Amino acid sequence: MRTLVTGGAGFIGSHLADALTARGDSVTIVDDLSSGKEANLAAALRAGARLQRSDIRDAGALARVVADAQPQVIFHLAAQVDVRISLADPGFDARTNVEGTINVLEAARQAGVERVVLASTGGAIYGDTEVLPTPETVDALPMAAYGQSKFCAERYLGLYERLYGLSTVALRFGNVYGPRQDPHGEAGVIAIFCGRLRAGARPRIFGDGTQTRDYIYVGDLVGALLRAGETRAGGAVNIGTEEETSVLDIVRTLSALIGPDTPEPEFAPTRLGELDRSCLDASRARELLGWSASTPIEDGLRLTWEAFEGG
């Protein structure tokens, strides 16, 4: 199969590129390398994947790449993912996540692409809700521009289905973690904690640490992406574990892995736009994709910590 991955040099995208090349796909990776790293693609490039350095906000350049690659499926992972940045500069967030998605859809339409799979977000779209685990039927009430822009991007998928018959699906991810996640950004608390602990620094907890998230291991997530590309399931589909894990739980598990000399956490004020609780109902993913998460948080954290130790 011919596949194209936007944001393919990033954390999730590079794992997906590895899986696609491993199954024998002809893979084109689109990334402007503003946050993604070519080093993440070492295995995929050796296996024959092509890297095209391009920005999804450049509609003309993206259309040329897609027309040349002629993919059957596009996995659209390129995005602005930092909640803090989205609040500080919502216009930039929208240009990347909304306009960038429109450019992907338009390039797909022009090139006759069969299917587009969008990486969306779960907790950031639903906002604060008392319905936990949260199904896709709960109203979207984002608490940050990031969640709002992703919700808008999903609406454009529906538009292109109605107008042009393009097959699309939006996967609403839980909090993804695993090897290759950047420990120096604002997104990805597990990677940030691992990076600080490896440097002998104290992990910083915003709030009291009781806030929960649905943490999903990147290997499980890649399995969901592959299934989404193979099916014709549409609409929004949650991709999570249906389990709540607190920030304090993460610290305790990492401390048990590292040993008694693990630095104690430090606490800072709660940040604007952060949710108290988030957990996704994944029953639709089981029904439509035949997929469910299989990596317990303890195993995923161990694999992540071992990758940081080796890095």
Q: Return the biggest CA–CA distance within the chain.
A: 60
Measured CA to CA, the distance from residue 244 to residue 246 in angstroms comes to: 7
Q: Is 146 a catalytic residue?
A: yes
Catalytic residue among 126, 146, 160, 215: 146
Helices (H), the chain: 11-22, 42-46, 59-69, 83-88, 90-94, 100-111, 123-126, 145-164, 189-198, 218-230, 247-258, 283-289, 297-310
Do strands 2-6 and 73-76 pair parallel, antiparallel, or not at all (unpaired)? Answer: parallel
- Please, are residues 148 and 98 in contact by the beta-carbon 8 Å criterion? no
Contact 292, 286 (CB under 8 A): yes
State residue 92 phi and psi, 5-degree precision. Answer: -60, -45
Gap between the Cα atoms of 14 and 38, Å rounded: 9
How large is the C-alpha radius of gyration of the chain? 19
Over the range 91-117, which residues count as b (16 or more CB within 10 Å of their CB) and which as e?
eebbebbbbbbbbbbbbbbebebebbb
CA quadruple 176, 185, 86, 254: dihedral positive or negative?
A: positive
Around 100, how many Cα atoms within 13 Å sit in the side-chain half-sphere? Answer: 25
Active site residues: 146
